[in-house]
């Protein structure tokens, strides 16, 4: 069995999406046209960034029917498979932050920084602030400064300022804050955490198999969602889980695996 099969699949997915977008711009391919903010599959199925559309709506802009439909399709899709799957399987910034986190582990920066100096709730405050600014100034506020858009559009149309965004995020995650951008600040990640809170695809932990090696927590970009490791058998229900499967891959005990949400048992636990 391939040890890092999910990591390989994620990279293939992320790179393939970028290649298809680039091919549409450079060679006229019609498989995936546009960018992560607004695009069409086969020039037929619309897709829109729902967080960008929300900002546009709050700003007072008139939302075209195809843009609204595209946002609805994306929300339904990620509501089913897990909202933050976008972060780990689609977003190109994830490649940068994963690299920074890998280097941090190799250089043992994580042992030096025993405690994270920032709360992960910053991303939700960022959502609120961006919506307030959008409402006051009548613009989609976050889209003007979004490093995700800068990097993605830079890859498609020529890097330009995309290089600056890549470098800043990489250095920030490497030297300042572990999983700083994706795990603490990015409002899009916070938005998809809310979208995916009730999704069907979940990682499940089996306590009886766990030997408390803690490899899963070491590689997880949202380690707080693994609070049950070594304590109880249950599914990760937090929308902040990115469904990246790194915990599944590094677990030599086979204590972590993907499963479908157990709606009945989870309802009992919540009650």
Q: What is the mean pLDDT of the chain?
A: 90
Backbone angles phi, psi at 160, to 5 degrees: 55, -125
| pLDDT-above-90 percentage for the chain | 73
Interatomic CA distance for residues 203 and 195, integer angstroms: 17
Interatomic CA distance for residues 93 and 214, integer angstroms: 26
- CATH 3.30.70 residue window(s) in the chain: 201-270
Q: Residue 155 is encoded by which pair of tokens?
A: 């890859």
Interatomic CA distance for residues 258 and 112, integer angstroms: 32
Q: What does the pLDDT read at residue 265? A: 57
156 in Cβ contact with 164 (< 8 Å): no
Interatomic CA distance for residues 209 and 150, integer angstroms: 43
Question: In 10 A of CB 15, how many CB atoms?
Answer: 13
Q: What is the pLDDT along the chain (271 residues), one digit of tens a residue?
A: 577 899 999 999 999 999 999 898 889 999 999 888 899 999 999 999 999 999 999 999 999 999 999 999 999 999 999 989 999 999 999 999 999 999 998 887 766 666 667 899 999 999 999 999 999 999 999 988 888 888 777 776 666 667 788 889 999 999 999 999 999 999 999 999 999 998 999 999 999 999 999 999 999 999 999 999 989 999 999 999 999 999 999 999 999 999 999 865 555 455 4
Give me the numbers of helices (H) and strands (E) for the chain, helices first please.
15, 6
pLDDT tens, position by position, 72-87: 999 999 999 998 999 9
Query: By C-alpha distance, which of 266, 87, 106, 73 is closest to 184?
Result: 87
184 in Cβ contact with 122 (< 8 Å): yes
> Which residues, 6+ apart, have CB-to-CB distance to 51 below 8 Å?
127, 142, 187, 188, 191, 192
For domain 201-270, give the fold.
Alpha-Beta Plaits (3.30.70)
Task: Quickly list H helices, 120-175.
Answer: 122-137, 141-145, 147-157, 162-171
> Which residues, 6+ apart, have CB-to-CB distance to 114 below 8 Å?
none
User: Nearest-5° angle of CA 87, CA 89, CA 93?
Assistant: 50
């Amino acid at each position: 069995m391939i040890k890092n099969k999910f990591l390989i699949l994620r990279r293939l997915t992320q790179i393939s999406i970028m290649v298809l977008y680039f091919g549409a711009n450079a060679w006229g391919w019609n498989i995936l046209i546009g960018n992560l903010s607004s695009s069409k599959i086969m020039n037929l199925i619309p897709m829109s960034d729902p967080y960008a559309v929300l900002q546009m709506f709050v700003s007072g802009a008139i939302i075209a029917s195809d843009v609204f439909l595209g946002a609805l399709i994306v929300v339904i899709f990620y509501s089913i498979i897990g909202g933050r799957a976008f972060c780990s399987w689609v977003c190109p910034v994830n490649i940068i932050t994963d690299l920074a986190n890998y280097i941090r582990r190799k250089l043992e920066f994580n042992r030096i920084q025993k405690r994270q100096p920032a709360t992960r709730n910053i991303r939700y405050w960022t959502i609120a602030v961006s919506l307030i600014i959008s409402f006051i100034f009548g613009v989609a506020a976050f889209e003007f400064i979004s490093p995700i858009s800068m990097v993605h559009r830079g890859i498609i149309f020529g890097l330009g300022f995309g290089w600056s965004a890549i470098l800043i995020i990489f250095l920030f995650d490497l030297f300042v804050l572990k999983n700083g951008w994706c795990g603490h600040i990015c409002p899009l990640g916070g938005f998809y955490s809310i979208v995916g809170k009730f999704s069907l695809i979940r990682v499940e932990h089996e306590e009886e198999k766990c030997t408390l090696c803690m490899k899963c927590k070491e590689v997880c970009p949202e380690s707080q969602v693994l609070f049950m490791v070594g304590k109880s058998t249950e599914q990760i229900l937090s929308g902040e889980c990115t469904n990246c499967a790194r915990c599944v891959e590094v677990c030599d005990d086979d204590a972590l695996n993907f499963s479908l949400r157990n709606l009945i048992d989870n309802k009992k636990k919540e009650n």
